[in-house]
Copies of this chain bind each other. A is one copy, B any other.
Amino acid sequence: MTSFEELTTKERPTWCPGCGDWGILTALKKALVELNLPKHQVVVVAGIGCSGHLPQWINTYAFHSLHGRALPVAQAIKLANHELNVIAVGGDGDGYGIGMGHFIHAMRRNVNITYIVHDNQIYGLTTGQASPTSEKGFKTKSTPHGQIEPPVNPIALALSADCSFVARGFAGDVPHLVKLIVQGIQHKGFALIDVLQPCVTFNYLNTFDYFYRRIYKLEEDSSYDPTNKQEAFKRAFEWGERIPIGLFYKENRKTYEDELPQISQMPLVKQKIDFVDIKNLIEEMC
């Protein structure tokens, strides 16, 4: 039985007190406990940012990669050893800014990994510049006269990019987030969980309170059908007085791994390479 304690590292997180990242870490650990995943069979892959520090504080394998590059690394780890549970984490700048290209392509590819985005609508670790999800007009160090661009909409993009599991959580509601992460890991395919994560140091606008007053849960709306993409799109654009969290959309389709005869027998990493017979290849060249 995997326990919360064994997932907890001796080192304490260095996040600011009150930061939403704490809730995400707790939720992730609880989800792994709930799923009873052995800790050595989990790899957490991160980008760079406050969010990117997360893998340091969870006692699983971890690969702390480059800014924006968690997804290519995570997908390849899964392809090389699909018996592992691979969870990618990152920030909004990391995933939706510099990492946007990988994000879109990973979703259509549908490798069976879970992607948790700490969406604080700001660049935290670099001390407060606008992020791709910063709201229009938001003033930051890099946009002292207000952000001009409207924010990207990760949920809508995910729906357009053939993501097979699209959800949004809130760092201020850990039990709900645990459920989403559990579902995301259980889902066979690429699962996106965008997490509203207040940055208490640099984002004076999108605070815990801001979200407490606005969020509602999709699953509490009994009419909502998370297999209906058109409906999902409608909710994806809801951002203002009401902000939906929960599962927007889910579909079952083959994972990338499912389509690879190369690993239908066993994971790549278990295949012997000591003597590869290339006589045929040499022959073909003669």
Cβ B108 vs Cβ A150 within 8 A: yes
Cβ B162 vs Cβ A160 within 8 A: no
Q: Which residues of B contact A153 (CB under 8 A)?
A: 160-162
Q: Does A132 contact B (CB under 8 A)?
A: yes
Q: Does A148 contact B (CB under 8 A)?
A: yes
Q: Does A4 contact B (CB under 8 A)?
A: no
- Give the contact stretch, choosing among A45-53, A97-105, A205-213: A97-105
How far is A112 from B116 in the complex, measured between Cα atoms in Å?
34
Chain A: how many interface residues by the 8 Å CB criterion?
32
Stoichiometry, copies per complex: 2
How far is A113 from B262 in the complex, measured between Cα atoms in Å?
45
Provide the A86-114 mask, 1 if CB < 8 A to any CB of B, else 0.
Answer: 00000000000111110011001110000
Smallest CB-CB separation from A153: which chain B residue? B160
A residues 231-253 in Cβ contact with B at 8 Å: 233-234, 236-237
Cβ B108 vs Cβ A152 within 8 A: yes
Q: Nearest-CB distance from A48 to chain B (Å)? A: 16
Provide the A149-163 mask, 1 if CB < 8 A to any CB of B, else 0.
Answer: 111110011011110
| Nearest 7 Cβ contacts at the A-B interface | A156-B160, A100-B101, A101-B101, A160-B160, A148-B259, A157-B160, A109-B149
Residues in A lying within 8 Å of B, measured CB to CB = 97-101, 104-105, 108-110, 132, 148-153, 156-157, 159-162, 229-230, 233-234, 236-237, 256, 259-260
